[in-house]
Amino acid sequence: MDGRLLLSTFLTASLSVVAHASVDRPPQLVAIAFDNCTELERWRELNDFAAEMNRDGERVHFTFFVSGVNFLGDIERTHYHGPRQRPGAAMINFGGTLEDVQKRVEFAKELHRRGHEIASHAVGHFNGATWSAAEWAAEFKAYDGLLERVGLSAPVAGFRAPYLATSPGLYAVLKERAFRYDASRTALANEWPQEIDGIWRFNLVGLRLHGSGKNVLSMDYNFFFAHSRAIDDPSSQSLFRDQMIETYLDYFRSNYSGNRAPIHIGHHFANYQGGAYRQALMIFARAVCSLPEVRCVTYSMLADFLDQLDPATLAAYRRGDFPHAGPPNLNVARRAQSQ
Ligand SMILES: [Zn+2]
């Protein structure tokens, strides 16, 4: 950097301090979402967890990126015909018995009634990285049909691609179908979301695994892979749980006292590592979602928040150009959950 550039950077920096003591500090938004969403015991557990957290105030709302096959019983599987597949094929399990499907639908309806969000994770969990717009369009049409068939009338506004595998055709179809956001990509931990071609991009982020030199995406499966190559390691579960808690808290503290970029965490219903990651997420959510400047929101709520900002305010947020907060007053109840 030459001297002139350095000087102008310095002037810009000091001017911005003088010229805009401009906007108030935004709330720290935290978006916690789940993919696939098959296991009934998890639907029940999250429903109960949220009900308890929200007993005397609206503290936490989740986004569920549900795979469409969850709404088709095993014996009905040939109703679905995925792109380039034979009828009845999928990469993950279908919905089980018709009774299982019915229970799952009831949980989804109940959670939607309580302000949580049902979003799309496509139908058959295929890798669509080479799909055309027409193939994506067929997959979305199949998804709509399955929701309609089980009487789920929640409007679906958001999408996360299986394997985070996207193609240009996907974005053409999301736009055509008036989706508000896509959550299929990755970004830096302190980036505010961008709206590209009318669609908010809510990206998972790269984190430093606490106490190690490893990088990990803000998603449970990626911890599972980083920790033990995606094979359960029962001897290290409490260590893995605590490391996830500390990693999420590092992420939270940094954004909370920094530029307040929204937090993005993605989990699955699967019981990786004997449930260690599930426990870590609950402990994290309990610790942060009750703080006065924090709002644990669905992705549509995050889109609502961003949509009502004028561009200058959002630009100030991106720069962190507001009075920053000190460290959050966290009460992390690690031992409160022993199950
Ligand atoms: Zn998935």
8-26 confidence digits (pLDDT tens) = 444 444 444 444 458 999 9
Ligand 1 centre and the CA of 199: distance in Å? 21
Please give the Cα distance from 166 to 180 (Å, whole number): 16
- At residue 216, what are phi and psi to the nearest 5 degrees? -150, 145
Handedness of CA 293, 298, 299, 304 (dihedral sign): negative
Instruction: Compute, in angstroms, the gap from residue 4 CA to the centroid of ligand 1.
Output: 50
Q: What is the mean predicted confidence (pLDDT) over 227-236?
A: 96
Q: Would the pLDDT of 331 be above 60?
A: yes
Pairing of strands 215-217, 204-208: antiparallel
Round the CA-based radius of gyration of the chain to a whole number and report it. 21
Q: Ligand 1 mean position to 176 CA, how many Å?
A: 23
Contact between 121 and 139 (Cβ < 8 Å):
no
Q: How much distance in Å is there from the Cα of 37 to the middle of ligand 1? A: 9
Share of the chain above pLDDT 70, in %: 92
Residue 5: per-residue pLDDT: 42
> How much distance in Å is there from the Cα of 311 to the middle of ligand 1?
33
Q: How confident is the model at residue 3 (pLDDT cuts 50, 70, 90)?
A: very low
What mean pLDDT is predicted for residues 219-238?
96
Number of H helices, E strands in the chain: 10, 12
Q: How much distance in Å is there from the Cα of 323 to the middle of ligand 1?
A: 39
pLDDT digits (tens, 9 = 90+) for 191-212: 999 999 999 999 999 999 999 9
> What is the token pair recorded at 333?
């109840």
pLDDT of 12 = 45
Q: Which two structure tokens, joined as six digits, stand for 116?
A: 């949580």
Q: Taking phi first (over 0 means left), then psi (-120 to 50 degrees means alpha), and beta for anything else, what does residue 196 get?
A: beta
| Ligand 1 center from residue 334 Cα (angstroms) | 28
**pLDDT tens, 60-104?**
999 999 999 999 999 999 999 999 999 999 999 999 999 999 999
Q: Where are the domains of the chain?
A: 27-336
Quick one: pLDDT at residue 4? 43
Distances (CA, A) of 146 to 67, 118, 220: 10, 13, 27
Question: For residue 184, is pLDDT > 70?
Answer: yes
Distance 219 CA to ligand 1 centre (A): 11
| Pick from 337, 248, 258: nearest CA to 296 | 248
Q: How far is the CA of 126 from the centre of ligand 1 (A)?
A: 9
pTM score, whole prediction: 0.92
pLDDT value at 58 more than 70: yes
CB 64 within 8 A of CB 125: no
Distance in angstroms (rounded) separating the CA atoms of residues 142 and 90: 13
Contact at 8 Å (CB) between 16 and 321? yes
pLDDT at 7 over 50: no
CA of 194 to the centre of ligand 1 (A): 23
Instruction: For residues 262 and 312, give the distance between their C-alpha atoms in angstroms, rounded to a whole number.
Output: 18
Q: What are 112-150's pLDDT values in tens digits?
A: 999 999 999 999 999 999 999 999 999 999 999 999 999
Q: Do residues 133 and 171 touch, judged by C-beta distance below 8 A?
A: no
CA of 110 to the centre of ligand 1 (A): 22
d(CA 300, ligand 1 centre) in Å: 19
**CB–CB of 234/195 below 8 Å?**
no
By the CB criterion, residues less than 5 angstroms from ion ligand 1 are: 35-36, 162
Find the mean pLDDT for residues 235-247.
97
Span 276-298, average pLDDT: 97
CA of 98 to the centre of ligand 1 (A): 22
Answer whether residue 254 shows pLDDT above 80: yes
Residue 339, pLDDT > 70, answer: no
DSSP string, 91-142: SS----SHHHHHHHHHHHHHHHHTT-EEEE--SS----TT--HHHHHHHHHH
How close is the Cα of 165 to the center of ligand 1, in Å? 10
Structure tokens at 174: 């999301």
CA distances from 331 to 60, 244, 288 (A): 17, 16, 8
179 touches 160 (CB < 8 A)? no
**One-letter identity of residue 19:** A
- How remote is the CA of residue 65 from the centroid of ligand 1, in Å? 8
Whole-angstrom distance, CA of residue 146 vs CA of residue 136: 15
Q: Give the per-residue pLDDT at 81.
A: 98
Neighbouring residues of 323: CB distance < 8 A, sequence distance ≥ 6: 21, 25
As a whole number, the mean pLDDT across the chain is 93
What is the chain's length?
A: 339
Q: Which CATH superfamily is domain 27-336 in?
A: Glycoside hydrolase/deacetylase (3.20.20.370)
pLDDT at 335: 57
The confidence score (pLDDT) of residue 79 equals 97
Give the Å distance between the CA of 268 and the centre of ligand 1. Answer: 8
Distance 125 CA to ligand 1 centre (A): 6
Return d(Cα 253, Cα 247) in angstroms, integer. Answer: 10
Give the pLDDT confidence score for residue 149 in this predicted structure: 96
Residues 246, 211 contacting (CB under 8 angstroms): yes
CA–centroid distance, 240 to ligand 1, in Å, is 22
